[in-house]
Structure 1
Amino acid sequence: MNKLIISLLIVLSAISIISADYQYGYCKFGSVGTVNQNITGYVTLTAQDGALNLVYNISSINLPTGSYATAIMTYGYNPSNNTDLGGVFQVDGKGTEQCQSGGSRAGDLYNLYVNDNRISSNFDSLTSVSIVDSPNSIIGRSIAIFQESYSCDLLKSSVGTSVGPLTTVVASCIIGIGNSANVPATNGVNTTTGNANTAGAYSSLSNTQYDAMVLLANTTKSPSAAIGGSVLFRSSSNSVSVNGIVSGVAKSVHGFHIHAFGDLTTVDGASIGGHWLSGAQVHAFPENTSRHFGDLGNLCIFDNDFKNAYYYLSTSYFSFSGLVGRGFAVHAARDDGNTYVGGDRVAQGVVALIPKAATTLNQVPSNWKYEVICSNGTYTGESTIEPSPTPSTTPTPTETSQPGTSSYLAPFFVLILSSLISVILIL
């Protein structure tokens, strides 16, 4: 009997391992700052047993041989200064600057080593941060590479870098929810059927501390290399406003959607997956209360020169924290609200946490009327402005035209006098 119980426990334990959910994140690097170090590559983030594993695949043709600190930062992006990412991420405000150890900040990582323009493939296993819904989730935040190195580096930097403090960011990436189809086999997580990717941002993110933003860049499906702009998600206690300003798109209607994954593995927009949705939601326009969370309708209102397109929507349909770390796409054609979502993805990006935005950031004209179904095609915002009331052409009555004034009495007396004269002459 005891052997049977032990055998059952072993089987149940094996089943729990096989069916365990996992988390997968993706972070694609780009150079920032005044000196372009031409840093490219990515970091994959995976977890299934509690620890978060980071695997780096990065290169640079401009970084001198040496060591460079890496850290997880508070913000994914900062619109006012893309090298000021809010400092190293801290869950409880405690910790000091050093490589990962018992007394370090949650976001402190290690030094990367550069040799012959190749950054060594580091592997970090962390327990101080996660990519699942919790106060220490780093989804939507960033990983930064610094010009300086951590002082705990026993090798120290040999050329071009200095030992702490960390002040000069040379590259960064936004940590997005990864697409399960792209999990490297070498990352050691079980993605078989029945296991779900539960990566996500902290569900109780402060709406007084954070907003979110996606920076758009063209994909290989775009006929133009000039697509740019951004979409701001401004959070409040009970709603999210979506303010989009997009440049370089064709003078036509474009599907406008939040996608499931903030994963830029592919340059054609495919790796951001389908629309962000839950359960039995269906693809539809924003007025449909069963639509995908990511269904924002269309982009179709332009300035007079058709250089920039604008979008605005205020909604309580989805949560602010739920969209953080997801992907975003501008499509080549109109979303019909039914079976056709807009064709190729001509621009994409990852939704990043940003500091609470100034009211002037991504401020779309407030006197335009915004329409997201766009069934009548494109139009200019100026054409929607209500005309000012025109001055009346009817003469304004003056004092001399009012009844009971001398202007009416004088003709009356003249008439009486004329009548009296006529009577006298007759007599």
Structure 2
Amino acid sequence: MKQFIAILVLLSVAISSVSADYVYANCMMVPTTPANITGGFQIAYTPEDQTYTFGYTIYNIPSKASYGVVLRELGDITTSSSAGGIVGAMVDSCPGGQITNLTSDLASLGFYAVVNASQYIVHNGPNSFVGRALTILDSHACDPQANIVAHCVIGIANPITTLIPKMNTTGANLASFKSSMTNAAVAVLYPTTAVSAVPVSGFMYFQVNTDGITTNVTFSAAITGLDNTTAHGVHIHAFGDLMWRNGTSVGGHWKNAALNQTHGLPPASNRELGDLGNICVFDNVNNVAYYQYTTSYSGTPGSEVNFIGRSIVVHGIRDSGNATALGPRLAQGVIGITTNAIPKALPKDISFATEPVCTPAGTTTTTTTGTTSTTGTTGTTGTTTGTTAASTTTSTTTSRPTTTTTTGPNSSSIVAPAFTIVIALIAMLLL
């Protein structure tokens, strides 16, 4: 995005350390009001003085206004108020989670704020900013009456998107989140520029389940705008980086490279950590697709390496479980922590397969009238009697020919000459 080009010069004096590993996160703003506040933040850490540099370019702040930026307790941006309170205790009438104040003449040009590391501003562990929301307020950060005008979820950034010239990205990105006390997460999905017809949007909700002996996670999703004549691959991708709106900056599927994981469908024992199979249950009346899958394979927010701060991506066609391309990336969203309930409960009358494979063997249609339903398969439709059909849910598993490849980088150790990255970025950001 071309709004970040101005940060190139400004941040060159802010980050000068070179080390084996690094911290890099970013956050792309979504407006919550007609004021259309947009832009984003790139976040880097300087270990020598234990400070974080928040580089930003923010658009449409009114002339002579001062808008505050604060860190929230949660990474749930389902609504403008679902991200919870501002982190940290109040100090001199200002919250501990205050990042900076923006003014129109500086914000749109590209600027940065340097924030000291603290128990509230940190890049790992249970208090990490990864997986939490940054919000922009319509007044200064210390105004308790200020309203949220834009928000985003801080994600683990893809090293190829950095515009911080002196930042080394050849080691491991240490930006992460880990807490065994976190039992839920959510990714709000936004359409990418790959969508040519109906925009695809929705959410995926993550619920940790435990009986004291075994622990797993239930992934539940409701998505609008999908083509109901085909299944759609869905995956956790390596980075929660939405800087490139075509969906490619999230990188490839999240995986453990040390285990030589290969792409596959559940329940393959050595599939990539992010392989969640396919979405193939459709409510054709309301144009909603549903997904639900329970597994322990991808860990929990308490796992040493986990999905918080990464992203969910919905693809254009069915995932066949092999190297075949998955079509365009239709929707993407960063996975943030939450204590809120699922944004919208999935219909109770839907029966999901144990494994979300969506084998392209036929079509299953369920027509529900009142509280009773029957099911037919491959050319057979079961219909109950009654006066009003409440909903029609179609599970379609027809595959389509593969035409495009959108697989991106799938590890955090991508090495490229700095000048090549900058030139490529400027070319892409100006598209």
Quote the offset at 1:262 in angstroms.
0.7
Query: Counterpart of 1:121 in structure 2: which amino acid?
Result: F
Q: Note the aligned Cα RMSD (angstroms).
A: 2.6
The answer to whether the Cα contact below 8 Å between 2:70 and 2:141 also exists between their aligned partners in 1 is no
d(CA) in 1 for partners of 2:150 and 2:286?
34
Q: Normalising by the residue count of structure 2, what TM-score does the alignment of the two structures yield?
A: 0.72
Percentage of identical aligned residues:
31
Out of 218, 222, 232, the position equivalent to 1:241 is 218
d(CA) in 2 for partners of 1:244 and 1:150?
34
Out of 144, 150, 162, the position equivalent to 1:171 is 150
Q: Establish whether residue 200 from structure 1 lines up as the match of residue 200 from structure 2.
A: no
Aligned to 2:231: 253
The answer to whether the Cα contact below 8 Å between 1:245 and 1:310 also exists between their aligned partners in 2 is yes
The answer to whether the Cα contact below 8 Å between 2:291 and 2:352 also exists between their aligned partners in 1 is no
Pick closer, same or farther for the CA change 1:114–1:327 going to 2, 3 Å.
Answer: same
Q: Establish whether residue 121 from structure 1 lines up as the match of residue 111 from structure 2.
A: yes
d(CA) in 2 for partners of 1:254 and 1:247?
12
d(CA) in 2 for partners of 1:117 and 1:174?
19
Can you list the C-alpha shifts for 1:358-404, whole angstroms capped at 9, x where unaligned?
5x7342435423351112267456179656xxxxxxxxxxxxxxxxx
Out of 263, 279, 284, the position equivalent to 1:283 is 263
Quote the offset at 1:282 in angstroms.
1.4
Out of 274, 279, 284, the position equivalent to 1:294 is 274
The answer to whether the Cα contact below 8 Å between 1:41 and 1:57 also exists between their aligned partners in 2 is yes
Pick closer, same or farther for the CA change 1:284–1:174 going to 2, 3 Å.
Answer: same
Aligned to 1:88: 86
Farther-moved stretch of structure 1 (215-224 vs 126-135): 126-135
d(CA) in 1 for partners of 2:202 and 2:141?
35
Aligned to 2:248: 270
d(CA) in 2 for partners of 1:236 and 1:304?
31
Task: Give 1 or 2 for the bigger CA radius of gyration.
Answer: 1
The answer to whether the Cα contact below 8 Å between 2:77 and 2:152 also exists between their aligned partners in 1 is no
Aligned to 1:310: 290
Quote the offset at 1:63 in angstroms.
2.4
User: Following superposition of structure 1 onto structure 2, how do residues 24-423 of structure 1 map, counting pairs within 5 Å?
Assistant: 24-32=24-32, 35-49=33-47, 50-60=50-60, 63-79=62-78, 81-90=79-88, 94-96=89-91, 98=93, 105=96, 107-115=97-105, 118=108, 121-128=111-118, 129-130=120-121, 132-150=123-141, 164-186=143-165, 188-192=166-170, 195-207=171-183, 211-237=184-210, 238-250=215-227, 251-278=229-256, 279=258, 280-305=260-285, 307-321=287-301, 322-357=306-341, 361-370=344-353, 372-376=356-360, 379-380=363-364, 382=366
Pick closer, same or farther for the CA change 1:19–1:67 going to 2, 3 Å.
Answer: closer
Farther-moved stretch of structure 1 (297-306 vs 286-295): 297-306
The answer to whether the Cα contact below 8 Å between 2:71 and 2:99 also exists between their aligned partners in 1 is yes
Quote the offset at 1:52 in angstroms.
2.0
Secondary structure of 2:104's partner?
A: strand
The answer to whether the Cα contact below 8 Å between 1:254 and 1:330 also exists between their aligned partners in 2 is yes
d(CA) in 1 for partners of 2:103 and 2:271?
48
Q: Which has the higher helix share?
A: 1
Query: What are the ranges of 5 or more consecutive residues in structure 1 without an aligned counterpart?
Result: 1-16, 152-163, 388-427
Give the structure, 1 or 2, with the largest relative contact order (CA under 8 Å, sep 6 or more): 2
Aligned to 2:8: none
Query: What are the ranges of 5 or more consecutive residues in structure 2 without an aligned counterpart?
Result: 1-16, 376-431
Quote the offset at 1:140 in angstroms.
0.9
The answer to whether the Cα contact below 8 Å between 1:78 and 1:354 also exists between their aligned partners in 2 is no
Quote the offset at 1:350 in angstroms.
1.1
Quote the offset at 1:317 in angstroms.
1.1
d(CA) in 1 for partners of 2:280 and 2:196?
18
Quote the offset at 1:85 in angstroms.
2.2
Pick closer, same or farther for the CA change 1:235–1:294 going to 2, 3 Å.
Answer: same
The answer to whether the Cα contact below 8 Å between 1:212 and 1:234 also exists between their aligned partners in 2 is yes
Query: Counterpart of 2:23 in structure 1: which amino acid?
Result: Q
Aligned to 1:415: none
Can you list the C-alpha shifts for 1:275-311, whole angstroms capped at 9, x where unaligned?
0111221111110121111000111121244822111
Query: Counterpart of 1:72 in structure 2: which amino acid?
Result: L
